[in-house]
Amino acid sequence: MTEPEKIIKYIQSVVYTTAMELSASPLYLLTLLVPCILITGCTGNFILSHNPSSPIITITPVNNSPVVFNESDNGKIYAIPQDTEFWINLTETLATNEPWQVTFSPGLELMDSQYFANPSMPRFDIDGTHRWIFKAKEPGMQIFRGETGWYGKDDPRSQYNISFNVIEKSD
């Protein structure tokens, strides 16, 4: 059994034991854990490493799966390999007529941009998610910036900035 499999098995046993001790079903516990994982941001199948003396967080995708960034990654710098596919998901309310206005470095290739309605909202245009799908094409520092007036121009949540140090692929 590999080290990641051992860790997953251990976590599963702890979650199951805790759920039984709390007389909660594993499904109930799962509904608590999934939002926590999503809220912390930067999800996906990847290896994350961080040197405390550097503000740059290194991400190594596993099995070519995309890495997902969200509001919790605002202001962060990530080192990612060239040709990595990644998603940026930001909350957007179309009803306010203040969608995200984004700019990004030419070294980031925009592959797709979509709005997903929130099924728990009474209308499709409230609290949805806008997803931009990119590929890190050019080595060097690349930047994604977004602005919205949804929160009000002076609110820090109206600005979103994330930087990527794209590491050249070695053949």
Residue 162 half-sphere exposure, CB side, CA atoms within 13 Å?
26
Distance from the Cα of residue 166 to its chain's centroid: 17
pLDDT of amino acid 171: 66
| Spatial contact of 60 and 46, defined as CB atoms under 8 Å apart | yes
Give the Cα separation of 72 and 69 in Å (integer).
8
Judging by beta carbons within 10 Å of its beta carbon (0-12, 13-18, 19+), is residue 73 exposed, middle or buried?
A: buried
pLDDT of amino acid 109: 98
C-alpha closest to that of 160 among 79, 86, 69 = 69
Which residues in 127-154 are b (16+ Cβ under 10 Å) and which e?
A: ebebbbbbbbeeeeebebebebebeeee
Amino acid (1-letter code) at residue 125? D
Beta bridge partners of 56: 77
Report the residue count for the chain: 171
pLDDT of amino acid 13: 53
| Spatial contact of 139 and 55, defined as CB atoms under 8 Å apart | no
Place of tokens 């290739």: 109
Give the Cα separation of 122 and 119 in Å (integer).
8
- Stretch (H or E) spanning 21: helix 3-21
Q: How confident is the chain (171 residues) per 10-residue block, as mean pLDDT? A: 52 47 42 38 48 71 86 95 95 84 97 90 83 97 91 80 94 66
pLDDT of amino acid 34: 39
Residues 73, 74, 80, 83, CA torsion sign = positive
Give the Cα separation of 163 and 103 in Å (integer).
12
